[in-house]
Structure 1
Amino acid sequence: MHIKRNYILGVLNGIFFRIGTTFIDVNTILPVLIQRLTGSATFVGLIASLYKVGWFFPQAVSAYYLQDMPFKKPVYIRASIARVFTLSSMTILVALANKVSHVTLLCSVVALVATYSALSGFGSVAFMDIIARTVDPMLRATFFSMRWALGGILSIGAGYAAKWIIQHINFPTNYSLLFGLSTTFIALSAAMFALAVEPTSPMPDKKENFREILTGGISLMRNDSAFRNLYLFRVMIAIWSSALPLYIVYARKELGIAESFAGILAAVQIIGRILPNALWSYIGNKFGNRYILITSAFFAAPMPFLALFLSEVPDSMKLALLGLIFFSGAAALNGIIVGSLSYMLDIAPEHVRPKYIGVFNTYIAPWMLLPTLAGWFAGNFGYIPLFKLALLSAILALFLSSKLK
């Protein structure tokens, strides 16, 4: 009974989360806001970096905190409450944008985005451990795919709503409204999972100190080939994804695409996240979760490849090609997330699962700073060389994915 209940609540959690994040999408909505405030590609990259690093970096701390707790859900609930409070603060702050300096607004938004992301990452270890204990391993790919697919379908409307809000409501009320809508749906998402029933988790033989947990990743990297190969694959994906927030900036600055088109691209991304989910579910259940990662890596290459030709095509084709770029990137990223989450739960030993997940993601965290470097690189050397580097990393990721066992 609880297994079915938790499955449904977990899917509802994902649906509301997807809708909420669409209103402040880190690859479309937030970059346009930061570009408006600063005109700097470097700052656009910085906000994307902080969003990603904040999610990954605190997970080893979370693993240390959770290791001897028989119930993990209270940690998730506390982190979620703090996360909603942070989003509410951003809503109020952006509403007051005309009454404070752009420097104050920018610094505050950056700090709050980093805080929101860190809270999300801290709570995610507890979330993943509960999912691992309550969702049948053979249904994990389907579970994560349903969260993305059903949430994505409803988020299409959110993307178009974001476009209308940006286009028809004056600044800063438009962006404040987007943050407010995001706050509402993120709160609903947390409330759904708070209703889940958590079974008691197995305890480790001994409690490790934080240093032992953090340095344990070195041993895992050396002795666990599954851990090592997945890590190298994710590093290549991190390089590829560092350019993601800059495609819309390139389209705005170099090609003259309207600001309101960011909402349309957010909707296109959602479609790209929806359509492949049946494929991910089928591949994961039929062949294994590593094949989701192989297929996703194949989808990653078209995004930077097509971007190389954006300036060469007629104006009538630019919007269509830009839509295809965002579709392929969203499909790849969706598969990488679904595949990585499912594959990680497959290879993580049950009695040390929080440590395994937390250490892996903390080790990935430094690579999440790459969007800042990518923004600086694009500002100094141009967007086309950056897209070529992203294409090369996608090809290497495809090669590395074939080594996963």
Structure 2
Amino acid sequence: MAQENLLQKSLRFNTIVNLIDGGFFGFALGLASFSTVIPLFIANFTDSAAWIGLVPAIHAVGWQFPQLLTARWVSRMKRFKPFVLFMTVQERLPFLGLALLAWWSPAIDNRLTLTIAFSLLIWQGVGGGLTANAWQNFIGKIIPYNLRATFFGAQSAAANLLGGIGAILAGFLLERLDFPTNFMVCFLLASGMMVVSWVFLSLSREPDHPIDSQPDNQKVFWQKVLVIIRKDRPFRWFIISRILFQFATMAAAFYTVYAVKVLGMGEVAAGVMTSILFIVQVVSNMAFGWLADRKGRLPVLMIGALCSVIAAGAAWLAPDYNWFYAIMIFAGMASSVFWTIGIAVSLEFGTEQERPTYVGLANTLIAPSAILAPLLGGWLADWVSYRLTFLVSALFGLLTWLILFLFVRIPQKAPLPAALAYSADPPLETRNQ
């Protein structure tokens, strides 16, 4: 009962500090964006679209792949926060490394620069992945599930609002400062924002929670994993739709590079375009989070799939770079749905004790597609054209929508008071979203 009272009393405080944490984290990612700034930095040392496309892929797969591997460990934690605070340093510190690398890059061979850069990106991605399962369960514990989509939407909105400001600032820095000072300053400022973010995260209040007194051994754990995959059909179709969604959004990794290198967009305009992406996500994250909590997750997932089709289809047809301002609007909406609503949905399956396993499966099983999708997109761009990449991405978007419409069903839990959100397993309604 003490745990429930503390969760109830701390709900507002925890919400505020975690929104601020997300905001400054987003500010950092605006200054050192995986879709614009870092690919442009890498493009100074290679012309390969496949290598450039690996930048967001490494970030995504690094975040996703380790989550099942940490699930058993996470399920045995009485508190998630200490682990989250320690491990998240590993996803923040590499930005300082990128700043140092940018500064020294003129004196280093291109191949060595790329090797160090991708090593830092792998470190950052894996650090995020080792943090991710515990962090999602931490949020699932301190935020009631009937408010989770709204919270994730609001946190993402805060991240994208400050991220939009960071992206505009990055655009001006890249345009007005000489290379490599421009990239060094962007990465250094991103490092500072990461520190501020960590401080607010550390202020969160989390009580202990009960755990299974006889935890599964390694063999039993993996047996349960196989049972979930075989028997939980709704969850299996959700995973399939997430895998296809990766290919539906693979074109987004190439929008900025295509607009700048092929269609002649300036770097300041590229920064403005990125800020549009962030600003759209501010609105769409809040709107989709609110809508998902009130009208159901599945309709919002279907909207996201259609947005990916529109973005990639428009990029395929675009005669000049001005189209990409509108394209970024739909790309931002698709991204909001995939990440924000996807995280909320992954917390809907299974019991509280099973949640780390479901969260791990929901991310680890889509990790291969996170790396294969941009590799496919980069290969198509290198060997044929960027436009073919955009067309294939749009077709995958259509297939994703079809799978969502025909097969995906998401369990809907009945609302409970906030204080009871973590301490009990609520009954499931008979209807599905």
TM-score by length of 2: 0.88
Which position in structure 2 is the counterpart of 1:372? 375
What residue identity is the alignment partner of 1:393? F
Question: Which structure's residues are more often helix, by fraction?
Answer: 1
Indicate how the Cα distance of structure 1 residues 214 and 36 shifts in structure 2: closer, same or farther if over 3 A, else same: farther
Contact 2:264 2:321 in 1 (8 A): no
CA deviation profile, 1:367-397 (whole Å, cap 9, x unmatched): 1112123212210122222211101111111
Q: 2:64 aligns with which of 47, 56, 63?
A: 56
Change in CA separation of 1:159 and 1:221 when aligned onto 2, cut-off 3 Å: same
State the SS of the aligned residue for 2:354: helix
SS at match of 2:314: helix
Structure 2: distance between partners of 1:221 and 1:169: 52
**Superposed counterparts of 1:183-262, under 5 Å:** 183-204=191-212, 206-210=214-218, 213=221, 216-262=224-270
Q: Deviations over 1:277-317 (max 9, x none)?
A: 34213312321223321222222111111011113xxxxxx
Match of 1:45 in 2: 53
- Deviation at residue 59 of structure 1 after TM alignment: 1.1
Q: RMSD between aligned alpha carbons?
A: 1.8
For residues 299-314 of structure 1, the aligned pairs below 5 Å read 299-311=307-319
Aligned length: 399
- Matched to 2:356, the amino acid is P
Evaluate the alpha carbon distance shift between residue 24 and residue 211 of structure 1 in structure 2; reply closer, same or farther with a 3 A threshold.
farther
Residue 81 of structure 2, aligned match among 73, 79, 83: 73
Report matched runs for 1:5-16 at 5 Å.
5-16=13-24
Q: Does 1:358 align with 2:366?
A: no
Residue 213 of structure 1: CA displacement? 4.2
Partner of 1:399: 402
Range with bigger deviation, 143-152 or 104-113 = 143-152
Cα distance, 1:322 vs structure 2:
0.7
Identity score, percent: 24
Seen in structure 2, the aligned counterparts of structure 1 residues 14 and 218 have a Cα distance that, compared at 3 Å, is: same
Letter in structure 1 aligned against 2:173: I
Q: Kindly state the Cα deviation for residue 65 of structure 1 after the two structures are TM-superposed.
A: 2.3
Query: How far apart, CA to CA, are the structure 2 residues paired with 1:201 and 1:399?
Result: 40
Q: Secondary structure at the match of 1:349?
A: coil
Q: Return the offset for 1:82.
A: 2.7
Q: Secondary structure of 1:231's partner? A: helix
The CA distance in 1 between the partners of 2:223 and 2:301, in whole Å, is: 27
Deviations 1:16-40 (A, max 9, x none): 1111111111111122111221011
Q: Provide the C-alpha distance between the structure 1 equivalents of 2:222 and 2:197, rounded to a whole number of angstroms.
A: 30
What CA distance in whole angstroms lies between the structure 1 residues aligned with 2:93 and 2:387? 39
Amino acid aligned to 2:263: L
Question: Using the alignment, how far apart are the partners of 2:341 and 2:302 within structure 1?
Answer: 9
Aligned to 1:337: 339
2:49 maps to amino acid? A
Structure 1: 5+ residue stretches without partners: 312-317
Amino acid corresponding to residue 93 of structure 1 in structure 2: L
SS of match in other structure, 1:184 = helix
Matched residue type, 2:75 = Q
Equivalent residue number for residue 314 of structure 1: none
Q: Which moved more, 1:230-239 or 1:73-82?
A: 73-82
Residue in structure 2 matched with residue 273 of structure 1 by the alignment? 281
Contact kept, 8 Å, 1:62 with 1:358, in 2: the verdict is: yes
Q: After TM superposition, give the deviation of residue 61 of structure 1 in Å.
A: 2.3
Report the alpha carbon displacement of residue 139 of structure 1 after superposing the two structures with TM: 1.1
Q: Deviations over 1:226-268 (max 9, x none)?
A: 3112101111111112222112222223212223432122101
CA contact (8 A) 2:75 2:353 kept: no
CA offsets 1:141-198 (integer angstroms, 9 cap, x no match): 2111111223322332211111100000011111111111111112222221111111
Contact residue 297 and residue 394 of structure 1 kept, 8 A: yes
Structure 1 residues 159, 356: closer, same or farther in 2, change over 3 A?
Answer: same
Mapped contact 1:32–1:259 kept (Cα < 8 A): no
Kindly indicate whether the alpha-carbon contact (under 8 Å) linking 2:23 and 2:160 is maintained by their aligned counterparts in 1.
yes
1:296 pairs with 2:304: yes
Provide the rounded CA distance (Å) in 2 between the counterparts of 1:211 and 1:26. 38
In 1, Cα distance between equivalents of 2:17 and 2:300: 24
Distance 2:81 2:301 in 1: 29
**Letter matched to residue 296 of structure 1:** G
Structure 2 unaligned blocks of 5 or more? 1-8, 411-433
Distance 1:242 1:209, change over 3 A: farther
When residues 288 and 23 of structure 1 are mapped into structure 2, their CA distance, relative to the original with a 3 A threshold, is: same
In 2, the alpha carbon distance for the partners of 1:212 and 1:48 equals 35
The separation in 2 between residues aligned to 1:210 and 1:86, in whole angstroms, is 32
Normalised by the size of structure 1, how large is the TM-score? 0.93
- Does residue 36 in structure 1 map to residue 44 in structure 2? yes
Asked if 2 retains the 8 angstrom alpha-carbon contact of 1:164 and 1:260, the reply is yes
